[in-house]
Structure 1
Amino acid sequence: MASISGICSSSPTLNHQNHSTPKRRRTPLPSFPSRPKPFPPRSLAREAPAQLSSITKPHHAGLEKDSRALWHRYVEWLYQHKELGLYLDVSRVGFTDEFVREMEPGFQAALRAMEDLEKGAIANPDEGRMVGHYWLRDSSRAPTAFLKTQIDNTLDAICSFANDVVSGKIKPPSSPEGRFTQILSVGIGGSALGPQFVAEALAPDNPPLKIRFIDNTDPAGIDHQIAQLGPELASTLVLVISKSGGTPETRNGLLEVQKAFREAGLNFPKQGVAITQENSLLDNTARIEGWLARFPMFDWVGGRTSEMSAVGLLPAALQSIDIREMLAGAALMDEANRSTVIRNNPAALLALCWYWATDGVGSKDMVILPYKDSLLLFSRYLQQLVMESLGKEFDLDGNRVNQGISVYGNKGSTDQHAYIQQLREGVHNFFVTFIEVLRDRPPGHDWELEPGVTCGDYLFGMLQGTRSALYANNRESLTVTVQEVNPRSVGALIALYERAVGIYASIVNINAYHQPGKLYTFDIYCKEPVEPLTLEEVADRCHAPEDIEMIYKIIAHMAANDRALIAEGNCGSPRSIKVFLGECNLDELYA
């Protein structure tokens, strides 16, 4: 039995709590210049009331420091989901009862918008789309029987295919081992971050298929992943994940993998699986070439919320992760997040705390600190989910707001030796979310390092000590606690943050669901010039004289990779350069 004194003494920061508390003011929301922007006549995300922008946060004399009052606040605001074994502690965020009352109308509007979203209303007005990732874990909520059938059939197909691969019924065409042993997943953004997080969190120590990722267009990184496979390339199942089928990084990765297969004398289509939207370029290619399998991505599921679709479920199932348990955990959390009572709705509580901590304008960063190695990638996953969803220049009324919340994180207790010093004593531009896991090891596998103290007790002490030390210095924090890391709890965590992002976006009147447009790109075509060209001449041929700096950078890149010949001068002196160019396409390089 671990002793409390032993646990506490394992963290030298735990007793560091006696600081004076300076008074702190909450600043009112600033006003922003506006720009007219056309919108459809009605969109759900616009229905959070405008009066929220005029809420003035109450002034108060710092965070509660009286231990009895703090304990009362902890008990009063602690959220528990008994079936999931999940807790949310918001007691170390200093919002007041008055603030909650003032925010109530806006939250009720946001919750109504979420209800309509789940019923199939257009919740992505910029693209005129439904937003349906919640239907993936409860198909009965899909607005049509056709969509329900699509969801159910896809899940059944994923489970059947994964079972056949793992059992050896589906075999690689030329593997001496007679079964697939490796997965190579080619995708970027939401097509990679979710599967990476779930693999790190849930894959067994010895999965039937080990997974690797190509999630960039870095040639050296691609070469490394392929080289690590070695002779097992012959028993590698390649998942190519792209909604449009035209994402440059994914396309480049696919071409590199196909080249490796050709050089090894292997038949790529018999080991290739496409996960993409129906009739996309990738889908048509896979169909024509006779790839091993094709699975759909739906128009109404965005990349950053696609983990519960084939994007995340297929690679998880191939690693023998119980995907139906993941879906069940997400569905249970979704149900909890439908409560119209803020204190009984964990996603609404998160959104409330985010609004309070950042003044509703992203004035502070969100630091994610999971105290569990298997949850290390959760901060990267949330970084995309939160920042891509909330990082918007304009709100739904066309006002320039430059919204967003920056997200970063590491893991405990590595953070003790990385940046906690700054969080404690440096610039106060953040709030912290601790992710706590109660069970250290499976039952019967723990042991004591010394009488009364286990290795997990030290980790627990580090978390509690860091939380106490930060709070003593007026640094606000939340704590999300799960009983253990398993498919159900991971599904619940994903669902919790997906809904919190949607609610917060409604509160601040932005569209969380549209995909960012492509960056401005252009083409260069130079057909074997008879003489070397200056940068200015290249820019003129491209009809892009204003982009001469970008042209210089691209030529320097091409020259470094033996694809352009600098006839005169050098890259350190751009004006001196004259260059021979073959045919090149900058859109393909930098789209």
Structure 2
Amino acid sequence: MIMLDFSNILTKEIGNNGVLIDEIEKNAQKAIKLISEKPYKELNFLELPEQDLKELKEIGKRARDYEYFIILGIGGSALGPKVILEALSPLHNLRKKPKVFIYDNVDPTTFKHIIETIDLKRTLINVISKSGSTTETLAAFLIFWRMIRERKLEVKEHFVFTTDPEKGNLRILAEEYEIPTLVIPRDIGGRYSVLTPVGLFLAEALGIKSEELLEGAREISYRAFSEKLNQNPMAILASSLYLTDIQKNRKIVVFLPYSDRLKTFSEWFCQLWAESLGKEGKGTTPYPSLGTTDQHSQLQLWMEGPEDKLVLFVSVDKHEFQEEIPEEFHDIEGLRFIGGHTLEELINTEQLATEMALTMSKKPNMKLVLPKIDAYYLGQSFQFLQVVTSMAGLLYGINPFNQPGVELGKRLTFGALGKRGFETEGEKVKNYLKKQRFII
């Protein structure tokens, strides 16, 4: 089980910058009560560990026969798969097949380089969009669709759709062209979808057992409703993050994993937290970081900058690789002292030293500890933070599953591109562009 150390946000450790343990426990119990009432159908993500994997594993096995595997998706449809790729198969494209490319932006230069690298005849393209109307994803899909058709290739041999079970543009095309399709359950939103075929299909394509990811998540789903706080660290973390905001005005959460394999995990968490909680003037700003790298670029700010941050460390107990640092140059103290230690010892010591430095300076911080990085603990980590985010939303009194703030930008994009039904937004874009602009 993932361990949470919240010692360093308590008043006992950091004085006036800390919160009382009684307050944390009281709000943790409130969070458990709120989530147990299941006020939103989207909380069905807690049931994902029980999903049937038969079809997923069959299509995943076929995917391993391809030379290249491309994912077209954005937001949760790309970040979750990226985490699985980078955490469980680092430097994958240099060592294994199929070579994976995740095209999540509409940068034309990136697209050009992907096209120049792959051979379409040996490529499987996974198009991920629950609604089937994601502009960026559909733009890339249409280009690949044209290229596949121009080469007289069978579209059903080169596409897999991951989408809604019943409706949407991709569902229509799948039925017309007999394209294999995987289902995103109706009640699961994009940023909570990593443990659906959105992430699990890539896992199977990489030869990673999706059931191991789900087994880790199952442990969290089981504990999410436990009223025993020593069995429910998710409630403690949600309460702690909530209280350090509303009581201590800590508006920025620095998410700081100490492993290169978890760099994208930091980015995944930031979307989950920001899009779920940034509503009605509430929520805090997530800040993706990486240890030890950002000790050298950001620690000065955290130590002596504005008093608005809480650091959430993610440390890894065992990195599964022991490389000893040679004992050389005994007459040079700056080199001698690190000899005989291992890289694992060094990275974990640097995390500990940063944690201590922050605590000694009365800066609130907490720590999640993963025993190691594998499919089981990654699945556990995904579900852990999804539960924490949901609980935090309920404590704030907002819906942690909608995203009304992003809809206007989508509508204006539709209007600017001439989509039917969005003529009013199109006129707004034209008028905006006619305004006098102060550009130098």
Q: TM-score range by the shorter chain?
A: 0.7 to 0.9
Offset at residue 271 of structure 1 (A) = 0.6
Alignment deviations for residues 479-512 of structure 1 (CA, whole Å, 9 cap, x no partner): 1111210001111111111111111111111110
Equivalent in 284, 296, 302 of residue 183 of structure 2: 296
Instruction: Give the equivalent residue in structure 2 for 1:188.
Output: 74
Equivalent in 160, 184, 187 of residue 273 of structure 1: 160
Alignment deviations for residues 261-291 of structure 1 (CA, whole Å, 9 cap, x no partner): 3455533332100000023211111221222
Q: Does 1:514 align with 2:422?
A: no
Alignment deviations for residues 517-566 of structure 1 (CA, whole Å, 9 cap, x no partner): 6214374699xxxxxxxxxxxxxx9797765553349xxxxxxxxxxxxx
Secondary structure (helix, strand or coil) at the match of 1:467 reads: helix
Identity of aligned residues (%): 28
| Worse overlay, 277-286 or 382-391 | 277-286
Residues 462 and 544 (structure 1), Cα distance of their counterparts in 2 relative to 1, 3 Å cut: closer
Equivalent in 222, 230, 247 of residue 335 of structure 1: 222
Q: Distance in 1 between matches of 2:23 and 2:320?
A: 44
Whether the 8 Å contact between 1:434 and 1:478 is mirrored in structure 2 is: yes
Structure 2: segments with no counterpart, 5+ residues: 13-17, 328-338
Whether the 8 Å contact between 2:216 and 2:377 is mirrored in structure 1 is: yes
Residues 164 and 547 (structure 1), Cα distance of their counterparts in 2 relative to 1, 3 Å cut: closer
Q: Does 1:550 align with 2:432?
A: yes
Whether the 8 Å contact between 2:234 and 2:384 is mirrored in structure 1 is: yes
Instruction: Give the equivalent residue in structure 2 for 1:432.
Output: 311
* Equivalent residue pairs, number: 411
Q: Distance in 2 between matches of 1:203 and 1:116?
A: 38
Secondary structure (helix, strand or coil) at the match of 1:427 reads: coil
Q: Which has the higher contact order (CA 8 A, sep 6+)?
A: 2
Output aligned runs, 1:168-187, within 5 Å.
179-187=65-73
Output aligned runs, 1:356-505, within 5 Å.
356-359=243-246, 363-393=250-280, 402-442=281-321, 446-450=323-327, 451-505=339-393
Residues 260 and 464 (structure 1), Cα distance of their counterparts in 2 relative to 1, 3 Å cut: same
Whether the 8 Å contact between 2:63 and 2:124 is mirrored in structure 1 is: no
Output aligned runs, 1:30-49, within 5 Å.
none
Offset at residue 105 of structure 1 (A) = 5.1
Supply the AA of the counterpart residue of 2:319: D
Q: Does 1:93 align with 2:5?
A: no
Q: Distance in 2 between matches of 1:513 and 1:431?
A: 24
Output aligned runs, 1:2-151, within 5 Å.
84=1, 86-95=2-11, 99-102=20-23, 104=25, 106-117=27-38, 123-124=39-40, 129-137=41-49, 139=50, 151=51
Q: Distance in 2 between matches of 1:573 and 1:499?
A: 46
Instruction: Give the equivalent residue in structure 1 for 2:209.
Output: 322
Secondary structure (helix, strand or coil) at the match of 2:125 reads: strand
Secondary structure (helix, strand or coil) at the match of 1:326 reads: helix
Supply the AA of the counterpart residue of 2:154: N
Whether the 8 Å contact between 1:434 and 1:480 is mirrored in structure 2 is: yes
Secondary structure (helix, strand or coil) at the match of 1:274 reads: strand
Supply the AA of the counterpart residue of 1:469: A
Bigger proportion of residues as helix = 2
| Worse overlay, 271-280 or 464-473 | 464-473
TM-score by length of 2: 0.86
Residues 524 and 327 (structure 1), Cα distance of their counterparts in 2 relative to 1, 3 Å cut: closer
Secondary structure (helix, strand or coil) at the match of 1:436 reads: strand
Q: Distance in 2 between matches of 1:525 and 1:415?
A: 40
Alignment deviations for residues 402-445 of structure 1 (CA, whole Å, 9 cap, x no partner): 11111112211111222112112222221111111121334xx5
Supply the AA of the counterpart residue of 1:483: P
Whether the 8 Å contact between 2:324 and 2:340 is mirrored in structure 1 is: no
Whether the 8 Å contact between 2:86 and 2:262 is mirrored in structure 1 is: yes
Residues 514 and 289 (structure 1), Cα distance of their counterparts in 2 relative to 1, 3 Å cut: same
CA-based RMSD of the aligned residues comes to 2.7
Whether the 8 Å contact between 1:226 and 1:257 is mirrored in structure 2 is: no
Secondary structure (helix, strand or coil) at the match of 1:238 reads: strand
Structure 1: segments with no counterpart, 5+ residues: 1-83, 118-122, 140-150, 167-178, 394-401, 527-540, 554-570, 575-591
Q: Distance in 2 between matches of 1:546 and 1:98?
A: 47
Supply the AA of the counterpart residue of 1:437: V
TM-score by length of 1: 0.65
Q: Distance in 2 between matches of 1:353 and 1:102?
A: 9
Supply the AA of the counterpart residue of 1:234: K
Equivalent in 53, 61, 65 of residue 163 of structure 1: 61
Whether the 8 Å contact between 1:379 and 1:407 is mirrored in structure 2 is: no
Q: Distance in 1 between matches of 2:312 and 2:425?
A: 50
